[in-house]
C-alpha cells in the first residue's frame, strides 16, 4: 500500500513539475524531492519482490485440496475399497512370477538389459515384443471408441510444462533431465505432462468441452526412494510404456468425468478378463495435484495380491491455474477448466498380469481372446 501511495504521489508531482516547467517556474526542490521518492520506491519494490518470492516458494509447494469424498488418513492403510471385479483364478499348480515365465519363454531379458542400461530395464523379444504392441494397440483402439483423440506427443518437455502439471518444483529429483541448446529439458514421467500442457496459456471455447486425449508414450522415472522395492520384474521400471488418458472439463462436470474415465480403464481389464479392484486413495496417499484419485489394482497370482495398474485423478483447477488453461462460457466469462488424467493402462504391468493370470502348467501362456487378432491369430506363447 505504501508503494502504491508513493507511486501515486510521484505521478502527481511529475504532472506538477511539468506544469511548472511550462510556466517557466523553478521546480528544483520538487525534482530533488522526486529523486528521494524514486529511491524509496525502488527500495520498497525490491523488498516486496523478496517477500513475494518467499510467498511463491511456499505456495507452489502446497498440494491440491482433497475432495470431501476422499477418505481422510495419512497413508494407504486408510484408503477405501470401492468394488471388486471377477474372482482370482485357482491354480492346480504353483503359479510362477511373470519374470520367471518371461525368461523361460525367452520373451523377456532382464539380464542383458542390466548389462546395457543397468537395473530396472528390460528387453522384450519376439512374442513378448508383439504382446506389448498388441496390448497398447488394443488399449488405444478401445479409448478411441470412447471418444478420446489419439495423440503422439513430444517426450522431452521444458520446465514450464513440468510446473504446469505440478511435477516441478516439488519432484525434480524423480525425473531425468538434460539440456537442449542450453535449455533444461525433462524426459516425460507420463504423457499427462505434454497432453495437459497442449492447451497451456490458452482460452478454450466452452462449447468444445469436455475434450478427451489419449496417447501411448514411454515414461521415464528415476524411482528415487524406491531402493529395495520391486527389484525384479516389470512392476517398477526406469522406462516403461503407458497409455494415458487426459480430460479437460467444466468444473461442474469433472467428478462425473472421473467416474467415466475410471470405467474406461476398468473396461480394458474386463475385456482382458483380469481380476481387479478399485480403491479411493486416502488424502495422505493421493498425489500432489489430485483432489480425488481412484487406483485400479490388478490381481497378480504369484504375489497373491493386487498391484496398481492404473491411477485416475481429478485435479480440479489445480493444474489449470498453474498452466493458465481457461475456457470462455456462454456468457463470455473466462474460467479455469478442470483437468483429469488416468492410466489406461500401464502396459508393462498389463504384460505382467497376463503372463501370471494366463500361465499354463506346461510353461506356456494363453493369449487373451481380445488380443488374438492383434497377435496375428496367435493363441498361445510357447517356449521355442
Half-sphere exposure of 240 (CA within 13 A, CB side): 23
Q: Which residues pair with 241 in a beta bridge?
A: 218
- Reduced to 3 states (helix: H, G, I; strand: E, B; else coil), residue 272 is coil
Q: Tens of pLDDT along 24-42?
A: 666 666 666 666 666 776 7
Q: What is the pTM of this model?
A: 0.89
Torsion of Cα atoms, 286 then 288 then 292 then 296, to 10°: -50
Residue 359 gets which letter from DSSP?
B
Cβ-contact 138, 370 below 8 angstroms = yes
Residue 62 CA to residue 56 CA, distance in Å, equals 10
Q: Tens of pLDDT along 298-331?
A: 999 999 999 999 999 999 999 999 999 999 999 9
Cell representation of residue 12 = 502527481
Binding site, annotated residues: 190, 221-223, 244, 308-311, 341
Binding site, annotated residues for ATP: 221-223, 308-311
Binding site, annotated residues for L-serine: 190, 221, 244, 341
In the block, residue with C-alpha cell 470412447: 146
* Residue 52: per-residue pLDDT: 86
Q: Tens of pLDDT along 327-379?
A: 999 999 999 999 999 999 999 999 999 999 999 999 999 999 999 999 999 99
Q: Which residues carry out catalysis?
A: 221, 236, 308, 311, 349
**Mean per-residue pLDDT over the chain, rounded:** 93
Amino acid at each position: 500500500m505504501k508503494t502504491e501511495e508513493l507511486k501515486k504521489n510521484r505521478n502527481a508531482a511529475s504532472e506538477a513539475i511539468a506544469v511548472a516547467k511550462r510556466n517557466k517556474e523553478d521546480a528544483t526542490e520538487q525534482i530533488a524531492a522526486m529523486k528521494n521518492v524514486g529511491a524509496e520506491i525502488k527500495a520498497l519494490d525490491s523488498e516486496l519482490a523478496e517477500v513475494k518470492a518467499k510467498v511463491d516458494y511456499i505456495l507452489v509447494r502446497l498440494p491440491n485440496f482433497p475432495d470431501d469424498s476422499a477418505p481422510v488418513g495419512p497413508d494407504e492403510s486408510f484408503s477405501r475399497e470401492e468394488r471388486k471385479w471377477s474372482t482370482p483364478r485357482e491354480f492346480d499348480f504353483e503359479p510362477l512370477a511373470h519374470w520367471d515365465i518371461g525368461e523361460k519363454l525367452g520373451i523377456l531379458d532382464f539380464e542383458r538389459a542390466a548389462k546395457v542400461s543397468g537395473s530396472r530395464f528390460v528387453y522384450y523379444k519376439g512374442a513378448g515384443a508383439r504382446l506389448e504392441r498388441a496390448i497398447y494397440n488394443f488399449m488405444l483402439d478401445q479409448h478411441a471408441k470412447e471418444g478420446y483423440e489419439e495423440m503422439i506427443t513430444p517426450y522431452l518437455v521444458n520446465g514450464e510444462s513440468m510446473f504446469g502439471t505440478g511435477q516441478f518444483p516439488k519432484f525434480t529429483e524423480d525425473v531425468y533431465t538434460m539440456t537442449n541448446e542450453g535449455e533444461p529439458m525433462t524426459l516425460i514421467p507420463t504423457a499427462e505432462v505434454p497432453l495437459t500442457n497442449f492447451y497451456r496459456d490458452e482460452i478454450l471455447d466452452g462449447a468444445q468441452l469436455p475434450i478427451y486425449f489419449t496417447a501411448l508414450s514411454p515414461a521415464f522415472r528415476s524411482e528415487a526412494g524406491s531402493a529395495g522395492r520391486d527389484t525384479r520384474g516389470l512392476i517398477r521400471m526406469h522406462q516403461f510404456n503407458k497409455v494415458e488418458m487426459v480430460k479437460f472439463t467444466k468444473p461442474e462436470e469433472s467428478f462425473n468425468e472421473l467416474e467415466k474415465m475410471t470405467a474406461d480403464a476398468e473396461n480394458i481389464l474386463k475385456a482382458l478378463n483380469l481380476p481387479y479392484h478399485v480403491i479411493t486413495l486416502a488424502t495422505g496417499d493421493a498425489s500432489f495435484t489430485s483432489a480425488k484419485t481412484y487406483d485400479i489394482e490388478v490381481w497378480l497370482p504369484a504375489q497373491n495380491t493386487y498391484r496398481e495398474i492404473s491411477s485416475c485423478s481429478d485435479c480440479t483447477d489445480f493444474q489449470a491455474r498453474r498452466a493458465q488453461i481457461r475456457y470462455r462460457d456462454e456468457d463470455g466469462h473466462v474460467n479455469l477448466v478442470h483437468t483429469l488424467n488416468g492410466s489406461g493402462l500401464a502396459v508393462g504391468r498389463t504384460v505382467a498380469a497376463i503372463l501370471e493370470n494366463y500361465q499354463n502348467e506346461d510353461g506356456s501362456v494363453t493369449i487373451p481372446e481380445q488380443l488374438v487378432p492383434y497377435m496375428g491369430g496367435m493363441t498361445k506363447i510357447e517356449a521355442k
